[in-house]
Amino acid sequence: MALFAPPIPPSVTTQVGAFSQAFAATTQTVAPELTIPQAYVEKAVEACRMEVLGDGTYYAEIPGFDGVWANSATPSHTLDELRSVLIDWLALKMENGDGDIPTIGGFDLNHPRM
């Protein structure tokens, strides 16, 4: 299995589960009190590991983000799916105040809910 760091497409639209919102210029609002910086998402996705599976599909995961992975037919679609899964994962972690979200690019999203 070949591992490689795929290029990040310059413009990305992603969905946030039931919220289905497009990325804003610098942040993604997933609930009124939860905001995820786009730069955080992109830095995390840049750190992903991607491999081509035996069936020709692409699998990507982000080290340190347990359960955040995607599998699709093309690298681009796999990265889009990975962003979507990551945002849903972050929203759940932030909403629950889990406190174990990795710090990336100077962003610490581990703030307790008020």
34 vs 12, more confident = 34
Please report the pLDDT score of residue 14 as a whole number.
Answer: 34
Q: pTM to 2 decimals? A: 0.70
* Distance in angstroms (rounded) separating the CA atoms of residues 114 and 106: 22
- Angle CA 16–18–24, to nearest 5: 35
Sorted by where each begins, the domain ranges of the chain are 14-96
35-93: pLDDT as tens digits: 788 999 999 999 999 999 999 999 999 999 999 999 999 999 999 999 999 999 999 99
Cβ-based burial of 13 (10 A; exposed 0-12, middle 13-18, buried ≥19): exposed
* 14-96 has CATH 3.40.1160.10 classification: no
Cα separation values, 19 from 36, 48, 88, 96, 107, Å = 13, 24, 10, 17, 23
Instruction: Report, as an integer, the average pLDDT of 84-112.
Output: 89
29 vs 19, more confident = 29
**Tokens 């679609």 sit at which residue?**
77
